[in-house]
Structure 1
Amino acid sequence: MGNDALPPDERHASALAAWREVLGTARVLGPDQARARYPQDTSGTRRALAGALLPGTVPEVQEAVRLAQRHAVPLYPISTGNNWGYGGAHPVRDGCMVLDLSGLRAIRRLDPELATVTVEPGVTQAQLRAHLDRHRLPFMVPATGAGPRCSLLGNALERGYGLTPYADHFGAVTSLEAVLADGSLYRPALAEMGAPDVDEVFKWGIGPYLDGLFTQGAFGVVTAGTIALAHRPERVESFFFELREESHLPAAVAAVRAILTDLEGVSGSINLMNRRRVVSMVEPFPAAEVPPRQAVPEEVVARLARRQRLPAWLGVGALYGTAAVVRAARARVRRHLRGVPTRALFLNRGRLGPLRGLSRLIPGALGEGARARLESLALGLEILEGIPNEVALPLACWRAGRGGEPGARDPARDGCGVLWYSPLVPMRPETVADYAGMVTRVALEHGIDPLITLTSLSARCFDSTVPLLFDRADALHGDQARRCFAALFQAGRDRGLLPYRLGVEEMDRFARLAPGAGALAARLRAVLDPGDILSPGRYTAQEAERAGGKGT
């Protein structure tokens, strides 16, 4: 009788013993230890974990996967486990062993001539930044708002993005290495054929493009990836523009599209943030004025916005290049914004310093507010320069009114409640305006604050991130946020707008709404992972049908 025919408890005990022989007792965790190590996600998701494995090398990953296959115990690979709002370290289904790759922290190779770096999944934004600084290398980290302690590869494999010149983070991945479900090691064809250097500088390789199977899927355990790095230019300059009226949004969208088209390679991504989103950045949550399980009343938002002189929408972008190129680009930005009732403000480190000095001369609350806003601008400029920091993390805890200590923020452990609605929105002025109105209406109907950001992925498409904030200590409020997500998903789909990624609670939508793609993914999986061992339930019809109940 094979191990897969044993009762589940016996299979699990047998697998734990085998893994401990390979990894050692300290790096094989039982269910209780795993529960303590991986807190409930900010979305409220918590699965019944079978335990966790903490390998430190690729051969250990291979052997861990082989043993999982032999004992028929499913694995759920994570990088650093900070996938906040989408499930965190928690799998789609109960009963999985977490395969924690945070111990694979090698920066295997950095080519300063061709500007590529090969990293393992445990390498964080902060680790790469420190490595670049230590060796005085003039490159930018593809920083995100998730913060310094998050995995570079984990974000890229979820097709994440940022604001630096290489905004599409998987687009910047040129090569992947992965362990398949049988424990064998996948390398791209060019590397196997004897051209590893070419493989690292040419994304598409030769023959079928297979690296893409390992993004947002469950076809292997990625153990390394090569990322193209953007050079840090002579000048990085942010620019801001304000829309005083909601009705100005369509004209601003047209202007953003024109800027991105005209200044391709000079302009980074451009963000548009609505008033409520900007209020959440500069004001504490007004808990005393908000009824339980309700959004901040409009009159309170208006008063806070007046106090801070906030517009209906705020646009934020960045220019990269030599001083002469940036100077010329400024003029082009101003020209494209002529059709929008606004004025562009340009800011760089040289201009920010004197402003911060002047703010120290302003007395009282007005001075404190000015200094806080300038500090936020300085941290935002660091992100644009490829220097990771925690400037965006307090958003997750805005509603909760609490957060961890600076430098150690962890929204999951800090008790913050947030899940994400992140649809792709074509950059058509009327489409964007209709979308923003829909989100505002649906969110307010569900008592959720409509905090809208639109981030350009290209001159054709925005991704919009809408954090659905709730009190995680209030189960009813969490249910309310999940109903809000469902309503937003449906209203967006009615308009042809769908998220670029899904949380673990929502994976069944892929199978139900894309049956053809889901069936094809399941057929591929049946060949590559017939035992359904790796990340069961992720984006395939077969696993979605098997998935059990929702987490709590």
Structure 2
Amino acid sequence: MSSFKEATSKVPTLSEKHSGIPDYLLDKAQDAKALIYETRTKETSTKQRLPVVPQGIEKKRFYEALEELAVQLGRENVEVNHKPLVDGWYMEHPNTHDMMPILDSEELVASAVVYPGSTEEVQDIVLWANKYRVPIFPISMGRNLGYGGAAPRVRGSVVIDLGKRMNSILDINPDDYTCLVEPGVSFYGLYEAIQAKGYTHMWVDTPDLGGGSIVGNTLDRGVGYTPYGDHWACHSGLEVVLPTGEVIRTGMGALPGNNTWQSFPYGFGPYSDGIFSQSNFGIVTKMGMTLMPNPGGHESFMYAFDKEEDLGPLLQMDIIRPLRIGNILENVAQVRHVIQTLAVKGKPRSTYFKGEGPIPEETVREQVRKMPIGDHTWVYYGMSYGPEYIRKYKLEIIDKEFKKIPGARRIDTSTLPSDEYFWSRDRIASGVPDFVELLWVNWVPNGAHVAFSPVSPISGADAMKLFNMGKRRHHEHGIDFLPAFCVGLREMHLIVEIVYDKADPKKRKAANDCLREMIDDAAKDGYGEYRTHLVLMDQVAGTYNWNDNALMKFHDRLKDALDPNGILAPGKSGIWPARYRGRGWELTKTSGNRSEGNGVTPSVATKL
């Protein structure tokens, strides 16, 4: 069992650590931590463990190589991973493995972690990795939870933790609403810096939890919930260390002395930024972002819908799609299922149901009838922006359209208590990072989650097809189904979080099997995931196989040209360097759950 000391120790704050919590959220974080440890039964081993050595390099030579790197970077910045694996939790997470493993924790595990303090030191690490053929895996902060966390895809890789020493906000420009940040800057950190400067005319778009890296989230094409919710579309300018050690700046940054690097993303010639998103083609050390102007007013709203089948007409072309495209519905809003209303309270499902298999729908409905929102199946969370007279005009249009669905009702939010989840969505949609979303992970003991994230048109038929498929597969595997639709401008993401007991091998297998079935089911109907967990990357990449896998062949050619020694994040997004290909490294539906392949192709050292 987890110790009382672990559960009650103080959560680090931003003033103490780059990955810490803002003071205004400290109480929430302490409460969330207590709830997580309350249901944790997985023990933390105290037994020392042997470090993993990556395939392709003998043990003695590997330690000699680490010693050489320690001399370069300083011994305090090179750590061998020989201690017991401690999962921690969101605010105190590991950088050696995935704290929410879907395979055994020792499968996707680092051999060592290194901490560069500058772009030049990242270059040194890359040159070192080429010299010794050591696979390296960069992370910004390692909080990509649900998608692999800090774990490297190749067992024994050396993790490059960019965030610990590269966490500066290099510039905030209050005139053109831009900033320039390093990988260790979280959404919490940027928000606090803007507030400290008194720049109330600027907002930060934030995801559900604000503790992740702005650089990491954006490169993985994560989303937030204001009109600036497409983070990749809002970035401008990258500094990148290539896999052979050269440094480039993209866009206007390639012009010496340029002053529009953060305000015009394209520059001249081919637009190369895209190849560094969700890829293993370079290590981003700086990134520019645009910030949202304060719209001069905002008002959150929420609608409840009675029936599962209401999802269809709500998302049909004559309701949400034209309102979203016409910017009457302005932000990346959520349509969430009733089970999430219950789960986000942070209580284990055993509070409501002690049986096996999915919790009965009537049990869920019975519980929510007692809550402030009342009985419902779907809830739409949205926000309107601008002066009051503009908001009133738009909200009247929305109300008229939404109430075309029988039984639809707008919730009087003035009646909701301060701890109601609605208020968290209100803060996030107005650019204030929060800490509530994590609570549904407590749904099961040792709660972990992994995401299924297909993209579809904003269409009722598509929504119902994906919903019914996901529900059927979840029930086949005895898993509760927690769906939410995030509505973009012309598409929507279905985000299904599978919450499972990471200490139970059967539960992990059920989650993995369910995901793999859904990936294939979705692909057959033309739906592809927009991001996925490390374990699932090969399978998802394999579904993008038009014209005899032409896209992956193109990625392979880019990989071999930019990374001839195959050292940078092999396997990320299903892109394998030449020396790994054909050796069984791919993790697919039929490959089993061993993450390693059969060695690497020997190669002669390339002169760099």
Return the TM-score normalized by structure 1. Answer: 0.88
Check the 8 A contact 2:305/2:379 in 1, yes or no: yes
Residues 288 and 119 of structure 1: CA distance in aligned 2, closer, same or farther (over 3 Å): closer
Secondary structure (helix, strand or coil) at the match of 1:520 reads: helix
Of 307, 323, 335 in structure 1, the residue corresponding to residue 400 of structure 2 is 335
Structure 1 portions without partners, runs of 5+: 357-369, 401-414
Secondary structure (helix, strand or coil) at the match of 1:42 reads: coil
1:101 lines up with 2:162 in the alignment? yes
Q: Deviations over 1:63-110 (max 9, x none)?
A: 111111111111000011011111111111112000001121111111
Counterpart position of 1:257: 321
Looking at structure 1, the residues matched to 541 and 326 of structure 2 have their Cα atoms a distance apart, in angstroms, of: 40
Counterpart position of 1:389: 434
Looking at structure 2, the residues matched to 396 and 175 of structure 1 have their Cα atoms a distance apart, in angstroms, of: 35
Counterpart position of 2:350: 287
Counterpart position of 2:33: none
Looking at structure 1, the residues matched to 364 and 56 of structure 2 have their Cα atoms a distance apart, in angstroms, of: 60
Q: How does 1:293-308 map to 2 (within 5 A)?
A: 294-308=357-371
Q: How does 1:205-224 map to 2 (within 5 A)?
A: 205-224=267-286
Secondary structure (helix, strand or coil) at the match of 2:232 reads: coil
Q: Deviations over 1:353-380 (max 9, x none)?
A: xx47xxxxxxxxxxxxx4532xx33222
Letter in 2 for 1:441: R
Residues 288 and 238 of structure 1: CA distance in aligned 2, closer, same or farther (over 3 Å): closer
Looking at structure 1, the residues matched to 494 and 581 of structure 2 have their Cα atoms a distance apart, in angstroms, of: 26
> Deviation at 1:386?
0.9
1:74 lines up with 2:108 in the alignment? no
Residues 6 and 475 of structure 1: CA distance in aligned 2, closer, same or farther (over 3 Å): closer
Counterpart position of 1:367: none
Counterpart position of 1:322: 387
Secondary structure (helix, strand or coil) at the match of 2:222 reads: coil
1:423 lines up with 2:454 in the alignment? yes
Counterpart position of 1:14: 64
Counterpart position of 2:482: 451
Looking at structure 1, the residues matched to 294 and 262 of structure 2 have their Cα atoms a distance apart, in angstroms, of: 20
Of 467, 471, 492 in structure 2, the residue corresponding to residue 462 of structure 1 is 492
Looking at structure 2, the residues matched to 5 and 484 of structure 1 have their Cα atoms a distance apart, in angstroms, of: 30
Counterpart position of 2:240: 178
Check the 8 A contact 2:55/2:156 in 1, yes or no: no
Counterpart position of 2:568: 534
Letter in 2 for 1:14: E
Secondary structure (helix, strand or coil) at the match of 1:197 reads: coil
> Deviation at 1:495?
1.6
Secondary structure (helix, strand or coil) at the match of 1:175 reads: strand
Q: How does 1:34-45 map to 2 (within 5 A)?
A: 35=85, 37=94, 38-45=96-103
Identity of aligned residues (%): 25
Looking at structure 2, the residues matched to 224 and 262 of structure 1 have their Cα atoms a distance apart, in angstroms, of: 34
1:550 lines up with 2:594 in the alignment? yes
Looking at structure 2, the residues matched to 75 and 39 of structure 1 have their Cα atoms a distance apart, in angstroms, of: 14
Letter in 2 for 1:90: A
Q: How many residues align?
A: 511
Counterpart position of 1:366: none
Secondary structure (helix, strand or coil) at the match of 1:372 reads: coil
Check the 8 A contact 2:252/2:266 in 1, yes or no: no
> Deviation at 1:209?
1.0
> Deviation at 1:482?
0.7
Return the TM-score normalized by structure 2. Answer: 0.80
Of 501, 507, 527 in structure 2, the residue corresponding to residue 497 of structure 1 is 527
Of 203, 218, 221 in structure 2, the residue corresponding to residue 156 of structure 1 is 218
Q: How does 1:18-37 map to 2 (within 5 A)?
A: 18-33=68-83, 35=85, 37=94
Of 263, 269, 289 in structure 2, the residue corresponding to residue 227 of structure 1 is 289
Looking at structure 2, the residues matched to 263 and 346 of structure 1 have their Cα atoms a distance apart, in angstroms, of: 23
Secondary structure (helix, strand or coil) at the match of 2:121 reads: helix
Letter in 1 for 2:518: L
Q: Deviations over 1:440-462 (max 9, x none)?
A: 1111111111111000121x211
Of structures 1 and 2, the one with the larger relative CO (CA 8 A, separation 6+) is: 1
Check the 8 A contact 1:443/1:484 in 2, yes or no: yes
Looking at structure 1, the residues matched to 139 and 173 of structure 2 have their Cα atoms a distance apart, in angstroms, of: 27
Looking at structure 1, the residues matched to 594 and 412 of structure 2 have their Cα atoms a distance apart, in angstroms, of: 48
Q: Deviations over 1:101-127 (max 9, x none)?
A: 112111111111111111011000111
> Deviation at 1:544?
6.3
Residues 49 and 283 of structure 1: CA distance in aligned 2, closer, same or farther (over 3 Å): closer
More deviation, 285-294/162-171: 285-294
Counterpart position of 2:514: 484
Secondary structure (helix, strand or coil) at the match of 1:339 reads: coil
Secondary structure (helix, strand or coil) at the match of 1:316 reads: strand
Counterpart position of 1:471: 501
Letter in 2 for 1:152: I
Structure 2 portions without partners, runs of 5+: 1-53, 87-93, 587-592, 597-608
Of 552, 559, 575 in structure 2, the residue corresponding to residue 525 of structure 1 is 559
Give every structure 1 segment of 4 or more consecutive aligned residues whose post-TM-superposition deviation is greater than 4 Å: 4-7, 33-37, 288-293, 541-546
Superposition RMSD in Å: 2.3
Check the 8 A contact 1:72/1:533 in 2, yes or no: yes
1:90 lines up with 2:151 in the alignment? yes
